[in-house]
Structure 1
Amino acid sequence: MKMVFRWFGEGNDSVSLNYIRQIPGVEGIVWALHDIPAGEEWPMEKILEVKKQADVYGLNINVVESVNVHEDIKLGLPTRDYYIENYKRTIEKLAQVGVKVICYNFMPVFDWVRTDLYKVLKDGSTALFYEHEKVMNINPLELVKMIADNPKFTMPGWEPERLKELTNLFEAYQNVTEEDLWENLKYFLENIIPVAEVNGIKMAIHPDDPPWSIFGLPRIITSRENIRRFLNLVDSQYNGITLCSGSLGANPKNNVPEIIREFADRIPFAHIRNVKVYENGDFIETSHRTCDGSVDIFEVVKAYYECGFTGYVRPDHGRHIWDEQCRPGYGLYDRALGIMYLWGIWDSLERMSKEGRL
């Protein structure tokens, strides 16, 4: 596996490239142009600027997360072709600087959703927390009114620029079913994947987080069965999955190691993190250690090892420890600890294999 580390750019990230290169085994950064709105073509000069910054520290920029998909594409509006053409041109530009994988998602309106960014764990650290009942009991129309009455109101994982158009988006999705979303995703893939193939870039969709419908909006990349259906929409090695153990692991019905074993050849990029899931549907993100959460991280790494995985891996969200001031979920300390835990498992598996004990 090739270890990489997410970086939000100079001025936007408390973790410097100099620190990242000091984490054992890290080869590159996972990056994006976060100031470019969804649907716009990425400027080449900005892409080259990131490459130049990474080159100074000997880090590659092989993985992009994310080139966001415009809502008109998800909704299947006539304007989607304009945004798809922009997406194609961005793929072509990224290929020119050596990008190998583009992570993206197809979640309507919202990306990941949490209800508390700093929930306190027993050891005094804090982490991202999801309160199931709170989310499921929010009426979208009431939500819009809450935002209108209090412009400062938000929830973790929501992009501020999207909140401004929240009312229109909820109305637009009112009659969009899961099957409609599947059809719109298929249209997107049929247009994008041929361009990705020509340019040697693997597209890797991220599972929905959490992996179920919220606020009455359809979500479809949620389970083993749906991943299988997704990969069959366009059966190409360039149409793949960003396998996130934390997103899928929030639903105890998802056996993450089994999912890895079935789709290993279609996973160019992996997020590995742990979550503690409670019986009421709440979950909190924990350290990477298997015993701290509900996802068997040892078995996750073992599945990748036994499948001969050579793709890219990053530690996903970490706790906030040692009074670090950082972007929620994206500090240096706990993610670096997570990397060493993952390497420890990997190196142990490698030794056991050489000694015939695996």
Structure 2
Amino acid sequence: MKMTFRWYGEGNDSISLGQIKQIPGVEGIVWALHDVPAGEEWPSDKIEAVKKQAEQYGLNIDVVESVNVHEDIKLGLPTRDHYIENYKRTIKKLAAAGVKVICYNFMPVFDWTRTDLFKEMEDGSTALFFEKAKVEDMDPFELVDKISSNSAYTMPGWEPERLSKLKELFEAYKNVSEEELFQNLEYFLKEIIPVAEENNIKMGIHPDDPPFSIFGLPRIMTNQQNIRRVLSLVDSPSNGVTLCSGSLGANPDNNVAEMVREFADRIPFAHIRNVKVYENGDFIETSHRSSDGTVDILEIMKAYHDSGFTGYARPDHGRHIWGEECRPGYGLYDRGLGIMYLWGIWDSLERIGRVS
């Protein structure tokens, strides 16, 4: 297992590369060019600039999250081919810079949805929170205003250029079914996976967050059966999944450890985090510790270890603790604690394996 840490770039993150370097066992950053709109080709000079920054601290740039997919591709519009060609060229440029894994998602409109970015917990920390009834009753435009006004950072999936076209996007998706979204994903994969193969890149599609439909939008990366179908659309080692325990774990019916065991050889990148799911469908993001949430992180780590996982992993969203002011879900302290919890489990499993 290769441990990484998501970093949003100089001037766009409260955390420095120097701080990331001090977290035990972290080998690289998970990064992206957040100022490049979805669908545009990534400039080589900007890619090289990030690589140079990371290498000054002995960190690699092996994992990119995300090269966003333009909505015209998801919608299957005639213009999609132009954006797919840009995507292919970006894959080639990233491979030339040493990138090994590209994470992406195929979620319509919103990459992720929460109703509160700083929900206070019993211990005084705050965390990302999803209130199911509120989403069911809320106008999506009202939610956008609330979320956008409560963060000092531009958040991936909620970029201004995306939100400025919200009404048009909802209208465009009105008649798009889940089956049609599957077909549009298949078209995209059949175009890009051969390019990824040629350039030794593994693509990892991220599950939908949350893993069920909201605001009537279609969602397809929601469960084990659908992940299996996506991986079979193009049967290639380069067509993989970024298995996110927190996204999938928001539905208690999802057995994430079982998914790890089935898809182990097609998981180039693992997001590991915990959530506590309530009976009414609400959920809140907790510490990584198994007993603090609904997701059995210990069993998930055991599944990765038993499967001989050698891919990349990162602690996903964390709480905001010790008064830290940071990007929602992406503070230093709780994700640092999460890494040490994950390493503690992994090192214990390694020791037990040697003794037995």
Q: CA deviation at 1:139?
A: 4.4
Aligned partner of 2:28 in structure 1 is 28
Corresponding position of 2:78: 78
Amino acid at match of 1:44: S
Report deviation, 1:162. 1.5
2:19 equivalent in structure 1: 19
Q: Map of 1:99-178 to 2, 5 A cutoff?
A: 99-139=99-139, 143=141, 158-178=158-178
CA–CA distance in 1 between the matches of 2:131 and 2:148?
A: 20
Q: Deviations over 1:156-185 (max 9, x none)?
A: 863332221111111111110001100000
Q: Which residue of 2 aligns with 1:248?
A: 248
Equivalent pairs, count? 352
The answer to whether the Cα contact below 8 Å between 2:269 and 2:313 also exists between their aligned partners in 1 is yes
- 1:231 paired with 2:234, answer no
| 1:263 Cα offset (Å) | 0.4
Cα distance in 2 for partners of 1:154, 1:163 equals 15
| 1:217 aligned residue | 217
* CA distances 1:45-89 after superposition (whole Å, capped 9, x unpaired): 000000000010000000000000000000000000000000000
Q: Give yes or no for contact 1:147–1:154 (8 Å, CA) kept in 2.
A: no
User: Quick one: distance in 2 between partners of 1:193 and 1:170?
Assistant: 29
Question: Deviation at 1:152?
Answer: 6.8
In 2 relative to 1, CA 235–135 (structure 1 residues): closer, same or farther, beyond 3 Å?
Answer: same
> Which residue identity does 2:248 align to in structure 1?
L
2:30 aligned counterpart, secondary structure: strand
Give the SS at the match of 1:3.
strand
Find the aligned partners of 1:64 and 1:153 in 2 and give their Cα distance.
Answer: 27
Aligned twin of 1:55: 55
Q: Are residue 259 (structure 1) and residue 254 (structure 2) matched? A: no
Identical positions, percent: 75
Q: 1:118 to 1:83 in 2, by over 3 A?
A: same
What is the DSSP-based 3-state SS (H/G/I as helix, E as strand, rest coil) of the residue aligned with 1:33? coil
Partners in 1 of 2:150 and 2:346 — Cα distance? 40
1:215 alignment partner AA: F
Q: Distance in 1 between matches of 2:67 and 2:103?
A: 7
- For structure 1, which segment, 152-161 or 32-41, has the greater mean C-alpha deviation from structure 2 after superposition? 152-161
Paired position in structure 1 for 2:207: 207
Identify which range, 130-139 or 46-55, moves more after superposition: 130-139
Structure 1 residues 152 and 220: alpha-carbon distance in aligned structure 2, compared to 1, 3 A threshold: closer
Mapping for residues 325-344 of structure 1, pairs under 5 Å: 325-344=325-344
Determine helix, strand or coil for the equivalent of 1:136.
helix
Map of 2:195 onto structure 1: 195
Q: Please tell me whether the aligned partners of residues 110 and 159 of structure 1 are also in contact (alpha carbons under 8 angstroms).
A: no
324 and 93 in structure 1: CA distance in 2 versus 1, 3 angstrom threshold: same
The answer (yes or no) to whether the contact 1:42–1:90 under 8 Å persists in 2 is yes
CA distance in 2, matches of 1:176, 1:303: 36
1:20-66 alpha-carbon deviations (Å, 9 max, x no partner): 01100000000000000000000000000000000100000000000
The 1-side partners of 2:272 and 2:341 are apart by 11
Decide whether aligned partners of structure 1 residues 262 and 152 sit closer, same or farther in structure 2, where only a CA change above 3 A counts.
closer
Distance 1:96 1:152, change over 3 A: closer
**One-letter code aligned to 1:106:** F
In the TM superposition, residue 4 of structure 1 has moved relative to its aligned partner by 0.3
Q: What is the CA–CA distance in structure 1 between the aligned matches of 2:207 and 2:270, rounded to whole Å? A: 11
| SS of residue in 1 equivalent to 2:86 | helix
The CA RMSD over aligned residues, in Å, is 1.7
Q: C-alpha separation between the residues in 2 aligned to 1:147 and 1:303?
A: 37
Q: How far apart are 1:187 and its partner, in Å?
A: 0.2
1:283 correspondence with 2:283:
yes
Segments ≥4 residues shifted beyond 6 Å: 150-156
* 1:302 aligned partner, one-letter code: K
**Secondary structure, in 3 states, of the residue corresponding to 1:211?**
coil
Q: Give me the whole-angstrom Cα distance separating, in 1, the residues matched to 2:278 and 2:86.
A: 42
Cα–Cα, structure 1 residues 54 and 292, in superposed 2: closer, same or farther, change >3 Å?
A: same
Using structure 2 for the length normalisation, give the TM-score.
Answer: 0.96
Aligned-partner Cα distance in 2 for 1:164–1:63: 29
Residues in 2 aligned to 1:154 and 1:169: alpha-carbon distance in whole angstroms: 23
Cα distance between partner residues in 2 of 1:7 and 1:151? 21
Question: Is the contact made by 1:40 and 1:87 (CA closer than 8 Å) also made in structure 2?
Answer: yes
- TM superposition shift of 1:138: 2.7
Quick one: distance in 1 between partners of 2:340 and 2:227?
29
Residues 285 and 319 in structure 1, CA contact (< 8 A), matched pair in contact too:
yes
Structure 2 vs 1, CA of residues 158 and 85 (structure 1 numbering), >3 Å: closer, same or farther?
same
The structure-2 alpha-carbon separation of the partners of 1:45 and 1:296, relative to structure 1 and needing over 3 Å to count, comes to same
Deviations 1:124-175 (A, max 9, x none): 00000000111122345xx37x979x99768986333222111111111111
Q: Secondary structure at the match of 1:63?
A: strand
Aligned letter for 2:174? Q
CA contact (8 A) 1:84 1:188 kept: yes
Segments of 5+ residues of structure 2 without an aligned counterpart are none
Q: Say whether 1:43 aligns with 2:43.
A: yes
